[in-house]
Amino acid sequence: MNIRRIGAAVAALPLLLAMSACGDDSASGGSGDEPYVAIVSKGFQHQFWQAVKQGAEQQAEKEGVRITFEGPATETDVEDQVNMLSNALAKSPDAIGFAALDSKAAEPLLQQAQSQDIPVIAFDSGVDSDIPVTTAATDNKAAAAEAAKHMAELIGNQGKVAMVVHDQTSKSGTDRRDGFVEWMEQNAPDVELLPVQYGDGDQTKSADITKSIIQSNPDVAGIYGSNEGSAIGVVKGVEESGKQGITVVGFDSGQAQIDAINNGVMAGAITQNPVGMGEELVKAAVKAIDGEDLPDTIDTGFYWYDKSNIDDAEIQAVLYQ
């Protein structure tokens, strides 16, 4: 992370505010009758984020509020995300929705939001700050523990297991890593966890990491991918390695993962409820704008799905292909 450039983005905020005050339509925000919620996500490249956006738009229409939804090109672009948050603040929205790529990097801007009395609603990932009025997210530690439990059962509670995690800076990344590791350490003493590898949620990088893991550990029994990009990368890596018999467990439910479960390459995965997450985000923003009290967290739920239940109505409702 380039702290100096992030600092420059923070320093540019007064200029952006001045542009807004000068009547730049592109920077206008919460001054009209219709409440305005600016949403900055962790990315835009995964179907997961498109599903969150869909839920936010659906709820915004119901609530009669205007939203914008943006995110950086990749989930490693912390600097771009900080710039987006800075630009969003300059539009003086009535509330901000924010899913942090780096739970600490945006702290100065969150303080700026607080000083402007703009409520911040965290979503997907928590923020290492007490400024957000609530966080709408999956209980990622519990969800990762559920993935670990299924992995252990599928490999007979013994053998080497590798982990390809999307990052070590976001709360979702650390919780999905720690939840998986802690469950294994407490419940599966004969499972050997290999050192955690980080693939930035990038499919190609995660596939290369997976092939390297298999080459170095030909006896690896299972591999866990902690988000959509990581899980698809693990599937690709296993397929490209030509290795048979590796149990793959993942996170999220884009079309490529659904296909991998149906064709047997992936044993199963945790699916979140991204449409519901987007809906809860906007509901919380409206309540915050109205001055209502909110709980510290809003659990948006998760499900384990595999070939046995993928067609169940409860699961079909939260898949986002």
User: What secondary structure does DSSP assign to 50-66, as a single string?
Assistant: HHHHHHHHHHHHHHT-E
Instruction: Report which of 112, 117, 116, 118 is spatially closest to residue 95, judged by C-alpha positions.
Output: 118
- Per-residue pLDDT at 208 exceeds 60: yes
Residues 44-58, mean pLDDT to the nearest whole number: 89
Closest CA to 158 of 179, 180, 182, 187: 187
Using the predicted structure, report yes or no on whether residue 320 has a pLDDT greater than 80: no
Q: Are 204 and 237 in contact (CB under 8 A)?
A: no
Nearest-5° Cα angle at 63, 57 to 68 = 35
Q: What is the mean pLDDT of residues 171-183?
A: 95
Average pLDDT over residues 88-110: 92
Q: Is pLDDT above 90 for 28?
A: no
Q: Give the SS3 label for residue 301.
A: coil
Is the pLDDT reported for residue 80 higher than 70?
Answer: yes
pLDDT at residue 7 is higher than 90: no
More confident residue, 3 or 69: 69
Residue 114: exposed, middle, or buried by beta-carbon count in 10 A (0-12, 13-18, 19+)? middle
pLDDT tens-place string over residues 69-78: 999 988 889 9
Residue 45: the pLDDT is: 72
Distance CA 17, CA 25 (A): 13
Poorest-pLDDT segment among 124-138, 177-191, 257-271: 124-138
pLDDT tens digits for range 218-242: 999 999 999 999 999 999 999 999 9
Residue 304 has pLDDT above 50, yes or no: yes
At residue 283, the 3 state secondary structure works out as: helix
The amino acid sitting at 184 is M
- Tens-digit pLDDT profile for residues 110-119: 999 999 999 9
Q: Would strands 220-225 and 159-165 be described as parallel, antiparallel, or unpaired?
A: parallel
Which pLDDT does position 15 carry in this prediction?
39
Residue 268 has pLDDT above 50, yes or no: yes
Q: Can you list the domains of the chain with their CATH numbers? A: 36-137+274-300 (3.40.50.2300), 140-272 (3.40.50.2300)
CA distance 31 to 35: 8
Among 254, 295, 247, 249, smallest CA distance to 272 is for: 254
Burial (CB count <10 Å: 0-12, 13-18, 19+), residue 42: buried
Q: Does residue 136 register a pLDDT over 70?
A: yes
| pLDDT for res 31 | 52
Mean pLDDT of the chain: 89
